């Protein structure tokens, strides 16, 4: 039986884990994502990866050392990888077409960066009619001058919970 749910992993790429500026709680994030992926695969829930194509000179620009999906959560053979250029995982990508082709109605979303790509994709998915679940302890970001990472994550968990 085909699952109507998919696990969407957003932008968990090597460049997000650089030694001098790693994403908040990097090790814990990878552990939680790996557990989610293992569970999804065991339950035959499709795992879909979104890979950001950063601009030239960026740590996640295509074909740079930071561009690949982190090996701790590497896609299995045959799992879909969607390349994107914007915070919205649907904009200028085949994501919606691929979800429709697979009969997906529910999205479980996790990844990086909470207040940009994760937030935008959650909101767009909802607007497109998907039932969206943001995994509250499986997305992350970086500290800003205005808010600490924990505040950003907690705020988005609250705002996107509805």
Does the annotation count 122 as an active-site position?
A: no
Helices (H) and strands (E) in the chain, counts: 4, 5
CA distance 38 to 42: 6
Q: Look up residue 111 and give its two tokens.
A: 């990844």
List b or e across 8-19, with b for residues whose CB sees 16 or more CB atoms inside 10 angstroms.
bbbbbbbbbbee
Question: Is-contact 127 119, C-beta < 8 A?
Answer: no
**Residue located via tokens 């790429």:** 13
Inter-residue contact 8 to 89 (CB < 8 Å): yes
Q: Say which of 9, 47, 117, 118 is annotated catalytic.
A: 117
Q: Which residue has tokens 């691929």?
A: 98
Per the DSSP assignment, residues forming a β-bridge with 81 are: 49
Q: Which residues are tagged catalytic?
A: 117
């Amino acid at each position: 039986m085909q699952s109507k749910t998919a696990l969407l992993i957003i932008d968990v790429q090597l460049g997000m884990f650089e030694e001098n500026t790693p994403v908040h709680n990097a090790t814990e994030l990878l552990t939680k994502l790996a557990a989610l992926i293992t569970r999804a695969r065991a339950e035959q829930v499709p795992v879909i990866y979104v890979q950001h194509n950063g601009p030239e000179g960026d740590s996640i620009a295509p074909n740079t050392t930071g561009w690949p999906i982190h090996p701790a959560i590497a896609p299995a053979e045959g799992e879909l990888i969607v390349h994107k250029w914007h915070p919205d995982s649907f904009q200028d990508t085949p994501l919606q077409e691929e979800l429709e082709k697979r009969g997906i109605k529910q999205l479980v979303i996790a990844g990086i960066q909470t207040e940009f790509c994760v937030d935008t994709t959650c909101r767009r998915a909802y607007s497109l009619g998907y039932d969206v679940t943001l995994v509250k302890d499986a997305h992350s970001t970086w500290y800003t001058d205005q808010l600490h990472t924990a505040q950003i994550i907690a705020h988005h968990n609250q705002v996107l919970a509805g």
